[in-house]
């Protein structure tokens, strides 16, 4: 019997791009030199990431065993929450990391025992990169790992608060382009406490922070490395907003007293052109409880909410216009306000 022949394009583009990243890195790339070169190709890595299964990764890393770290990965399937551990080797003495940010399957971790130590790790490949000391002695504030598409480089942003003067400074480390942190800009805002505790959205190399204002947000384009105040659109009722990323655009959600969620999309960052794209009707079982937006998955088409103080999640699919309530009960799980979208990838700070 003749065995059908599969051309290389089918093998690589249709089959290998659907294999989990850790299997590709630990097994498949060792088959031959050709497979090693192809699996390391940036075009293949990008195609593979677009097919990777997406879910949520939580703040609380747990020690799996000596020399290893495990983090909870939560995937929403229909009305069930599937939870599994993502295990990867630890870096030297970094046994108690805190998850600070994420980008393209890479995780930005801060050492819980020594906060001066900052790392980026790919959990699928166990590839770790450490950073030099900060430009200041302060280790608090906010950290964000940002991919800048225009320059095809990663930058780490560190916001340093001064609560006495309501001022915060920003230092940036450019991965692969510098050996030290750079102080780039500062801004004063009387909502500094909410600034650091509120959510943020990263879209096309621009960070947007919610500063607990009903009329504006604060943004930074990592090309210019300057703070900027972005005005929100005029609305009949100025309610608190929640930022999300939707299909490569910044979006925010606000609620009205009639049981609707309005989804606004920033079509042009330079002109500040906002468009109301969706009006979502909340069913009674969702409306009667306080649900907070935590993130979006599947290129922004699915919005994930979590009920305050409870182990209940709720998702809304913008494509089909459908709500789903997801119950999740697991003992010894520490729920946090920090959830991030994640998919295992082959990306590194070098590619």
Q: Among 1-5, 50-54, 201-205, 234-238, whose mean pLDDT is lowest? A: 1-5
What pLDDT does 252 receive?
Answer: 92
What pLDDT does 104 receive?
Answer: 93
Strand order in the sheet with 142-148: 142-148, 153-162, 167-174, 182-188
pLDDT classification of 34: cutoffs 50, 70, 90: confident
Where is pLDDT greater, at 299 or 267?
267
Query: Which residues have CB under 8 Å from 243's CB, separation 6+?
Result: 199, 200, 201, 208, 210, 217, 250, 251, 252
Q: Is the pLDDT of residue 70 over 70?
A: yes
Q: Is the pLDDT of residue 182 over 80?
A: yes
Q: Please tell me whether residue 173 adopts helix, strand or coil conformation.
A: strand
Q: Is the pLDDT of residue 267 over 80?
A: yes
CA distance 239 to 78: 31
pLDDT in tens, 145-166: 999 999 999 999 998 877 777 7
What pLDDT does 11 receive?
Answer: 64
H helix runs in 237-334, sequence order = 284-287
What is the reported pTM? 0.87
How crowded is residue 248: how many other Cβ atoms within 10 Å of its Cβ? 10
Query: Which residues have CB under 8 Å from 159's CB, separation 6+?
Result: 141, 142, 143, 168, 169, 170, 196
What pLDDT does 10 receive?
Answer: 63
Mean pLDDT of 238-260: 85
Domain 52-342 in CATH 1.10.3720.10? no
What pLDDT does 31 receive?
Answer: 84
Residue ranges per domain, the chain?
1-51, 52-342
Q: Is the pLDDT of residue 135 over 90?
A: no
Mean pLDDT of 9-38: 83
**DSSP letters along 45-92, please?**
HHHHHHHS--EEEES--EEEETTEEEEEEEEEETTEEEEEEEEEE-BT
Where is pLDDT greater, at 128 or 2?
128
Q: Is the pLDDT of residue 236 over 80?
A: no
Q: Among 59-73, 106-120, 141-155, 281-295, whose mean pLDDT is lowest? A: 59-73
Residue 121 token pair: 């790790």
User: Among 349, 345, 17, which residue's Cα sits nearest to residue 152?
Assistant: 349
Q: Is the pLDDT of residue 3 over 50?
A: no
Q: Is the pLDDT of residue 251 over 60?
A: yes
Return the percentage of the chain with pLDDT > 90, whole number: 27
What pLDDT does 335 receive?
Answer: 46
pLDDT in tens, 271-320: 999 999 999 998 887 777 767 888 888 888 888 888 776 667 888 999 88
What pLDDT does 201 receive?
Answer: 92
Strand order in the sheet with 291-297: 291-297, 302-307, 312-317, 322-327
What pLDDT does 194 receive?
Answer: 52
pLDDT classification of 87: cutoffs 50, 70, 90: confident
What pLDDT does 219 receive?
Answer: 93
């Amino acid at each position: 019997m003749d065995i059908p022949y599969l051309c290389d394009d089918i093998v690589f583009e249709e089959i290998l791009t659907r294999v989990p990243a850790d299997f590709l890195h630990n097994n498949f790339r060792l088959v031959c030199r050709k497979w090693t070169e192809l699996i390391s190709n940036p075009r293949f890595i990008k195609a593979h990431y677009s097919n990777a299964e997406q879910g949520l990764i939580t703040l609380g890393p747990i020690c799996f065993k000596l020399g290893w770290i495990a983090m909870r990965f939560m995937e929403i399937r229909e009305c069930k929450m599937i939870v599994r551990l993502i295990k990867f080797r630890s870096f030297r003495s970094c046994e108690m990391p805190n998850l600070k940010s994420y980008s393209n399957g890479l995780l930005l971790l801060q050492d819980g025992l020594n906060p001066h130590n900052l790392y980026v790790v790919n959990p699928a490949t166990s590839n770790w990169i450490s950073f030099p000391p900060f430009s200041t002695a302060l280790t608090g504030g906010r950290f964000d790992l940002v991919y800048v598409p225009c320059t095809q480089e990663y930058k780490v942003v560190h916001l340093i608060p001064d609560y006495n003067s309501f001022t915060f400074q920003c230092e940036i480390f450019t991965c692969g382009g510098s050996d030290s942190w750079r102080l780039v800009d500062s801004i004063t805002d009387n909502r500094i406490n909410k600034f650091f505790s509120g959510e943020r959205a990263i879209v096309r190399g621009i960070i947007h922070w919610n500063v607990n204002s009903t009329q504006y947000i604060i943004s930074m384009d990592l090309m210019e490395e300057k703070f900027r105040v972005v005005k929100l659109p005029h609305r009949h009722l100025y309610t608190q907003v929640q930022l999300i990323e939707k299909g490569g655009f910044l979006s925010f959600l606000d609620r009205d007293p009639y049981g609707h969620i309005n989804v606004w999309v920033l079509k042009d960052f330079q002109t500040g052109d906002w468009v109301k794209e969706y009006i979502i009707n909340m069913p009674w079982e969702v409306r009667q409880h306080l649900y907070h937006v935590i993130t979006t998955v599947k290129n922004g088409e699915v919005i994930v909410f979590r009920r305050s103080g409870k182990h209940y999640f709720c998702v809304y699919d913008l494509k089909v216009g459908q709500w789903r309530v997801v119950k999740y009960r697991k003992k010894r799980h520490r729920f946090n306000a920090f959830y991030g979208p994640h998919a295992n990838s082959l990306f590194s700070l070098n590619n």
